[in-house]
Amino acid sequence: MMAKRPNILLTGTPGVGKTTLGKELAAKTGLTYVNIGELAHEGQYYDGYDEEYQCPVLDEDRVVDELDQKMMEGGVIVDIMDYHGCDLFPERWFDIVLYFARTNPVVHRLEDRGYTGKKLQDNVQCEIFQIIYEEAMEAYSEEIVHQLPSNTPEDLEENLEQLIQWTEQWIKDHN
């Protein structure tokens, strides 16, 4: 059975607007928003604790198992949240993968989230070198991976409008 609504993956470093856009898009399109950080916390889908990064280690297999049926039904926006690597999810799940790009890494937004030391440094480098974008390009078909600017509130509004239009068109084309 083919899904009647698209599945969308939101990825990028912490603080670039994934959650804000994902929740707004869900509210305006009727798609279901899933935050991986919240899902992992609620289900305790962890496989230990990383002392170096001061965070729980995601049990990727349990997360994938938990989401599989919902993803097959369609209409899901998956927000990587602080687990910003995206290659844990099967390619078959997504109709579009969105990488939120910043031209200027803003250290204070990560510090405001409590990031320090190696965690802070690695996230800034990840953003500068677009490591997550490269991971997405390797994990998914290039045709479905798109970079979105995420530097200003205007970028957020433009991205939201484009994604609402894209979702509406996808639904028309697939139903």
Q: What is the pTM assigned to this prediction?
A: 0.85
With a cut of 70, say whether residue 142 has pLDDT above it. yes
What one-character DSSP code corresponds to residue 12?
S
Q: How many CB atoms lie within 10 A of CB 39?
A: 19
Answer whether 90's CB lies under 8 Å from 138's CB.
no
Distance CA 63, CA 39 (A): 8
With a cut of 80, say whether residue 101 has pLDDT above it. no
Distance CA 34, CA 85 (A): 15
Which residue type does 167 have?
Answer: T
With a cut of 80, say whether residue 157 has pLDDT above it. yes
Among 34-43, 51-60, 71-80, 157-166, name the one with the lowest average pLDDT. Answer: 51-60
For residue range 58-97, list pLDDT tens digits in order: 999 999 999 999 999 999 999 987 665 788 999 999 999 9
The DSSP line for 1-63 is ---SS--EEEESSTTSSHHHHHHHHHHHH-PEEEEHHHHHHHHT-EEEEETTTTEEEE-HHHH
102: confidence class by pLDDT, cuts 50, 70, 90: low
With a cut of 90, say whether residue 31 has pLDDT above it. yes
Q: What does residue 124 show for φ and ψ, rounded to 5 degrees?
A: -65, -45
pLDDT computed for residue 52 by the predictor:
82
Answer whether 89's CB lies under 8 Å from 39's CB.
no
Collapsing DSSP states into helix, strand and coil, what is residue 56?
strand
150: confidence class by pLDDT, cuts 50, 70, 90: confident
Answer whether 18's CB lies under 8 Å from 87's CB.
no
Joined tokens for residue 59? 């049990």
Distance CA 42, CA 44 (A): 6
